[in-house]
Structure 1
């Protein structure tokens, strides 16, 4: 791997793991994290978890796994250009959605509502629970025993959770910090008031880039919008006009791919140029300087950020809230809510989950139920609904 910049995270200077391991003769610490994530059960489950479109609607729409792989590829590209540690950026990208529920954000909203009396549900915290507690492959410990840097990135890739005074910030300002955060076992304090490494910031912006490009592709495949609908939309509009002008006679799916790849390229190049300037202006000389910089340094330019926000607004109104999407969204939310209510009442969960649930009540049982539901794939959640309610929702 090429020499990294002074402000990059250094694998040989990692703050370590909760449980000691011997050095690997062939892999860095962050490479080992990446490999542990890829080989985890939670990672494999992503292939059967919804991104935007449920699996019944077609086999070529993105799922959580394909989305995660796209984010990982983009993150590596940006990290390489900025001379960061590509393996840490990849590890955070690969793990950033491990805490997501079945049925995408619909399932998360439903589980958050059900868990409201018990501190709510947060998918970043759930990802931490997965990699520190719920994965149980190893003979000597629970969890994947990841490095401090990867755990920090999973929790804080979107930014700090609190300010210097300990007051929740951002989306945590209204509802407070997610319950259970203080129960997570880590190699050290994850420092909720600081930004994460540049590698984690790269994973976060790669997530946005991937979302925008593949949601356009999937929406066009689903027939919810046409390319012409994007002509007046920020960010996408000029690229669509360019592609239609250059390739007016080619098949729409080829035109769509041209739009998608050009959007990704321009967004990636914008992030690289802007972030390099941000890093230089901040004068950071170490990963610790990055954490103390007081702001994210891996960002879009102001123009790109404004246009990206406009594109998201269009996708929200025309795609994410389209009735063809909302019908299965409402049904899937109901599935999660019914399962949660019944498990809370009877703890009728299979195997170790039911055994653990029957031994406790209240908030303790709620956390077990949330862990169980969050780990479900879409098909498994539907199978459980069939078993318990003798009914299978029709998403069409």
Structure 2
């Protein structure tokens, strides 16, 4: 029998003497640490879809995360409503408030590791390091043993696979040291593979959970301690991370389309047509079936939900587009949340074990077809438009250019870099000026990691220095990255 109660531990990495063991009080402390963190504040100037957007109505990572937070809260409450008295059977009695807070804060944090310019920023960082790693002396020391050569391959694999989810774990545990409870930290561990390990093949029982890096080698000890504290098996998820993932899936699909309409890329009439056609292509057998029930207990087909939203918008005299999405959300989010809650309860055994090898909404259901419909329409008709492609290319050039500018710091020997640290580098004029632009907090994180060497000291220092640059660039907002690029490029 599933019993969640044993997993609700208030343990932290750095427990202070006399700390309050009351779980609700500890999670309230987590909430304050998260909301007041610089990582969350920076989300207001990071891309959701449209970089460097001046229209405040178009979503940033922060406004998107707030919407995900609300959806996560909705899913959690729906689960407890459905469980009723059975909550006690699963060790969840009296845990509704704690569970709700954990999911909400995980949703708020889920994008904090994302670099400037969104997923294209991830690709830019990954590709730059992939192109450069074999040319960096610090990652290609001579006279390596067979074991050290294998470790070099692993570290290079990680550095050329920048992943926002893994960076989020690094942010909360090392760069900002929020000292969150392991319980709260586990809720954002979306993927469970260390970045030094290869991606498993599709036949692996945890292939979905390990399809992307979930944490870096530098955070392996933190993750191991978290797994021990929460009785998690390596490669497995914590149960509540499935709810964070579902909330994100439900929220961003609709949000991206609404932003596209707000920017006049699509009209609601055109969007209606595209959505109905795409759903019918995915589920021709369900195109006219009434699978979706709204809060008024009225069942409708997918096409009827779209048509009804358009009818309501036509009755609105001021903001027709806003009204369309109000009713589209009412018609779709409620059944999607219900489906996510049902899937969570249905698979409680696997979710508790952390080995459900898929997302909650990833099944052969009409609800999954809705998610896929929204995603496919966005990919085909929003992300592919010239404006978005141009912005992505600009973001790619900015991040690649920034790393090009800072590349000289990676070409130095460890002795030369130590001269920069000591402030006695008279012959390294350019490198000295670049070094002074590095944030002190990232230099401190570099030094702390470097002082705990693993394997070959030269190789480890090189890894730490590469991580230093990735920390700096990924922590920038879109605007700051652009400003820094302009400054170093001597333009505008």
Task: Work out whether residues 309 and 328 of structure 2, in 8 Å CA contact, stay in contact via their aligned partners in 1.
Answer: yes
SS at match of 1:154: coil
Partner of 1:242: 308
SS at match of 1:82: helix
Partner of 2:79: 82
Partner of 1:146: 180
Instruction: Give the count of matched residue pairs.
Output: 370
CA distance in 2: counterparts of 1:109 and 1:15, whole angstroms: 36
Residue of 115, 118, 121 corresponding to 1:101: 115
Q: Quick check: 1:56 aligned with 2:53?
A: yes
How many Å apart are 1:344 and its aligned residue? Answer: 2.3
CA distance in 2: counterparts of 1:177 and 1:133, whole angstroms: 15
Q: Quick check: 1:381 aligned with 2:481?
A: yes
TM-score by length of 2: 0.67
TM-score by length of 1: 0.82
CA distance in 2: counterparts of 1:49 and 1:195, whole angstroms: 27
Task: Work out whether residues 313 and 321 of structure 2, in 8 Å CA contact, stay in contact via their aligned partners in 1.
Answer: no
Q: Which runs of 5+ in 1 are unaligned?
A: 136-142
Residue of 29, 33, 36 corresponding to 2:30: 33
Partner of 1:185: 222
SS at match of 2:407: helix
CA distance in 1: counterparts of 2:5 and 2:10, whole angstroms: 11
User: For residues 87 and 355 of structure 1, do their structure 2 counterparts lie closer, same or farther at Cα, with a shift above 3 Å needed?
Assistant: closer
Partner of 2:384: 321
CA distance in 2: counterparts of 1:108 and 1:294, whole angstroms: 27
CA distance in 1: counterparts of 2:322 and 2:121, whole angstroms: 30
Partner of 2:352: 290
Greater shift after overlay, 106-115 or 359-368? 359-368
How many Å apart are 1:324 and its aligned residue? Answer: 1.1
Task: Work out whether residues 15 and 147 of structure 1, in 8 Å CA contact, stay in contact via their aligned partners in 2.
Answer: yes
User: For residues 192 and 7 of structure 1, do their structure 2 counterparts lie closer, same or farther at Cα, with a shift above 3 Å needed?
Assistant: same
User: For residues 207 and 236 of structure 1, do their structure 2 counterparts lie closer, same or farther at Cα, with a shift above 3 Å needed?
Assistant: farther
Greater shift after overlay, 51-60 or 206-215? 51-60
CA distance in 1: counterparts of 2:26 and 2:49, whole angstroms: 34
CA deviations over 1:279-308 (Å, ceiling 9, x no partner): 3xx4x7xxxx71255445843662211231
CA deviations over 1:153-176 (Å, ceiling 9, x no partner): 222x3567788x999834855x87
User: For residues 313 and 299 of structure 1, do their structure 2 counterparts lie closer, same or farther at Cα, with a shift above 3 Å needed?
Assistant: closer
Partner of 2:332: 263
CA distance in 1: counterparts of 2:371 and 2:27, whole angstroms: 31
User: For residues 276 and 9 of structure 1, do their structure 2 counterparts lie closer, same or farther at Cα, with a shift above 3 Å needed?
Assistant: same
Task: Work out whether residues 175 and 442 of structure 2, in 8 Å CA contact, stay in contact via their aligned partners in 1.
Answer: no
Task: Work out whether residues 30 and 91 of structure 1, in 8 Å CA contact, stay in contact via their aligned partners in 2.
Answer: no
Residue of 126, 137, 156 corresponding to 2:167: 126
CA distance in 2: counterparts of 1:168 and 1:268, whole angstroms: 25
CA deviations over 1:368-392 (Å, ceiling 9, x no partner): 0000011101111111112100235
Q: Which runs of 5+ in 2 are unaligned?
A: 81-95, 134-155, 280-300, 410-430, 451-457
Partner of 1:305: 368
Task: Work out whether residues 75 and 341 of structure 2, in 8 Å CA contact, stay in contact via their aligned partners in 1.
Answer: yes
CA distance in 1: counterparts of 2:22 and 2:213, whole angstroms: 44
Matches within 5 A, 1:311-350: 311-346=374-409, 348=434, 349-350=437-438
SS at match of 1:52: coil
User: For residues 106 and 9 of structure 1, do their structure 2 counterparts lie closer, same or farther at Cα, with a shift above 3 Å needed?
Assistant: farther
Matches within 5 A, 1:185-224: 185-186=222-223, 187-189=225-227, 191-197=233-239, 199-224=240-265
How many Å apart are 1:129 and its aligned residue? Answer: 0.7
Task: Work out whether residues 29 and 147 of structure 1, in 8 Å CA contact, stay in contact via their aligned partners in 2.
Answer: yes
CA distance in 2: counterparts of 1:220 and 1:306, whole angstroms: 22
CA distance in 1: counterparts of 2:326 and 2:25, whole angstroms: 36
Residue of 66, 70, 75 corresponding to 1:73: 70
How many Å apart are 1:256 and its aligned residue? Answer: 3.0
User: For residues 182 and 43 of structure 1, do their structure 2 counterparts lie closer, same or farther at Cα, with a shift above 3 Å needed?
Assistant: closer
User: For residues 236 and 112 of structure 1, do their structure 2 counterparts lie closer, same or farther at Cα, with a shift above 3 Å needed?
Assistant: farther
Partner of 1:113: 127
Q: CA RMSD in A?
A: 3.3
CA deviations over 1:130-180 (Å, ceiling 9, x no partner): 001111xxxxxxx0111222222222x3567788x999834855x877652
SS at match of 1:350: coil
CA distance in 1: counterparts of 2:193 and 2:481, whole angstroms: 33
User: For residues 16 and 245 of structure 1, do their structure 2 counterparts lie closer, same or farther at Cα, with a shift above 3 Å needed?
Assistant: same
Partner of 2:278: 233
Residue of 44, 58, 61 corresponding to 1:47: 44
How many Å apart are 1:196 and its aligned residue? Answer: 1.8
Partner of 1:139: none
Greater shift after overlay, 216-225 or 175-184? 175-184
Partner of 2:469: 369
